[in-house]
Chains A and B, each alone.
Chain A
Amino acid sequence: MEYELNLSINKQPVKITVEPHLTLLEVLRDHLTLIGTKEGCGTGDCGACTVLVNGEPVCSCLMLAAEVERQEITTVEGLAVNDELHPIQSAFVNQGGLQCGFCTPGLLMSSVALLEQNPRPTEVEIREALAGNLCRCTGYDKIVRAVQAAEEVEHV
């Protein structure tokens, strides 16, 4: 049984036919070759698969692709504009907010959503907003500094 989906991904319309057991993560990576979003656990615990649906962070590993038809999906590939890094990306680079980089796409998406709602978050607010994104390398300190350093972001 196949399901025809109309999606909007990074502001581009995408029409795709999928079997309904596929998660959004699988469709992004395996069918659309948007491999920026990572699978860390597959069970919604680590946040490496975080994408934005209508601007809200969700775990794409637990979201069936069929559940997001006609929704606005934003992945890490949608942050940079014409080879110019998004302010949050520049901040992570400049502050050294990553080591292996595997958790980074998910963290960027959660950070973008946070700053969209709260351009000047406190450290407590940052740590709470990023609580669903686990990092095994950095100890989070420079991640927090990166979010603090990011300027007010344009609506993604």
Chain B
Amino acid sequence: MKRFDYLAPQNLTEALQMMADRPEAIPLAGGTDILVQMKEAQRPVEALLSLKRVPEVHQITQNGKLTLGAAVTAGQLATDPQIQQAYTALANGAGLIGSIQIRNMATVGGNLCNAAPSADTAPPLLVLGAQAVIVSTPGERMIPLEEFFLGPGRTVLQPGELLKEIVVPQPLARSGSCYLRQTPRAWMDIAVVGVAATITLAADDTIAEARLALGAVAPIPMRTTAAEKLLTGHTLTDDLLQEVGTAAAQAAKPIDDLRASADYRRHLVNILTQRALRSAWAKAKDSQGA
């Protein structure tokens, strides 16, 4: 690789000061995207700012809400029993990234900031109502994750800004979630279509609220509120699932590329939406409440 400056802050304050001094510096967490881009695509990099020694972005806190430091790894998310139980879609998505080796390095912050439309933690975090905490030397701002992505590889982060953490609210009682994706290979592949779903059940087992998000079928990971609303107040039936699957497929904006045709992607959105909803519903039925 070409030489670059390696910045090694010891805490968040130092990191932000270094980013203010060197706005061209790119944050380095797991390195599984940026290093590949530097090697394969010859991405020009003047400086990397290592987050390895910044404790503030490595913490997972569960106290009601779930706060994930940006440098928490996919492996941590995939294997944490509480996350598997209460934020299942997130554990699903994180557990599908790459391989065990990659999951031991790749981070949730990196997955989001790399902003691939197919990012596997994005649809789960969207349906779980996540917010992004962005910091810089002037201060801190918090935005809904829906507002974070601008396009393939682009986020709202300005020079000098760092994604510090992701905050996920505590799921409501009788909620379940699921993330499924389709890939040509069993592992080590990029989602052709990804679907995340959450369902919250009312006391009479009708759906109080449902959320759906799609990955790899639009320039950015996207919610499908029109399809979601079809579920509110109803019991889950095969007919309703087909209706929702069709609506989600219509909302998707896929392209033809070497992985799949747009038609096939729409077909997959329909199928995976139905499967993800069934799974989320089953988890909601089984859940024991807040």
In the complex with contacts A1-B5, A50-B101, A66-B6, A56-B188 CB distance below 8 A: no
Whether the pair A44, B32 counts as a contact (CB closer than 8 A) is yes
Within 8 Å of chain B (Cβ to Cβ): is A131?
yes
Decide if the interface of chain A is mainly helix, strand, loop or mixed: mixed
In the complex with contacts A63-B31, A63-B105, A131-B187, A57-B36 CB distance below 8 A: no
Q: Contact residue range for chain B?
A: 20 to 34
Within 8 Å of chain B (Cβ to Cβ): is A36?
no
In the complex with contacts A62-B31, A62-B32, A131-B186, A110-B100 CB distance below 8 A: yes
In the complex with contacts A1-B6, A47-B99, A132-B98, A67-B104 CB distance below 8 A: no
Q: What are the 6 A-B residue pairs with the smallest beta carbon separation, nearest first? A: A132-B99, A20-B6, A131-B187, A56-B104, A132-B101, A59-B101
Within 8 Å of chain A (Cβ to Cβ): is B141?
no
Whether the pair B6, A129 counts as a contact (CB closer than 8 A) is no
Bound CA span A110–B104, Å: 12
Closest CB in chain B relative to A42 CB, distance in Å: 6
Our pick among B1, B36, B52, B186 for the contact of A67 (Cβ within 8 Å) is B52
Per-residue contact bits, chain A 120-156, to B (CB 8 Å; 1 contact, 0 not): 0000000011011100000000000000000000000
Within 8 Å of chain B (Cβ to Cβ): is A19?
yes
Whether the pair B39, A42 counts as a contact (CB closer than 8 A) is yes
For A62, list chain B residues within 8 Å (CB).
Answer: 30-32, 35-36, 105
Per-residue contact bits, chain A 25-63, to B (CB 8 Å; 1 contact, 0 not): 000000000000000001111010010010011110011
Within 8 Å of chain A (Cβ to Cβ): is B60?
no
Interface size of A by CB at 8 A reads 29
Closest CB in chain A relative to B90 CB, distance in Å: 19
Bound CA span A87–B32, Å: 31
Chain A residue with the shortest CB-CB distance to B186: A131
For B101, list chain A residues within 8 Å (CB).
Answer: 44, 47, 50, 57-59, 110, 132
Per-residue contact bits, chain A 1-28, to B (CB 8 Å; 1 contact, 0 not): 1010000000000000001110100000
Our pick among A21, A23, A66, A133 for the contact of B8 (Cβ within 8 Å) is A66
Bound CA span A50–B4, Å: 25
Whether the pair B39, A20 counts as a contact (CB closer than 8 A) is no
Interface positions of A (Cβ within 8 A of B): 1, 3, 19-21, 23, 42-45, 47, 50, 53, 56-59, 62-64, 66-67, 110, 113, 128-129, 131-133
Our pick among B4, B75, B102 for the contact of A44 (Cβ within 8 Å) is B102
Chain A residue with the shortest CB-CB distance to B4: A21
Bound CA span A19–B48, Å: 13
Please name 18 pairs of A and B residues whose Cβ atoms are closer than 8 Å in the assembled complex, sorted by A.
Answer: A19-B3, A21-B3, A21-B6, A44-B35, A47-B99, A47-B101, A56-B75, A57-B100, A58-B101, A58-B104, A59-B32, A64-B28, A64-B35, A64-B50, A67-B28, A67-B31, A67-B52, A132-B188
For A131, list chain B residues within 8 Å (CB).
Answer: 99-100, 186-188
Whether the pair B50, A66 counts as a contact (CB closer than 8 A) is yes
For A57, list chain B residues within 8 Å (CB).
Answer: 100-101, 104
Per-residue contact bits, chain B 5-41, to A (CB 8 Å; 1 contact, 0 not): 1101000000000000000000010111001100110
Whether the pair A43, B3 counts as a contact (CB closer than 8 A) is no
For A45, list chain B residues within 8 Å (CB).
Answer: 188
Bound CA span A66–B35, Å: 14
Bound CA span A56–B105, Å: 10
Bound CA span A36–B24, Å: 37
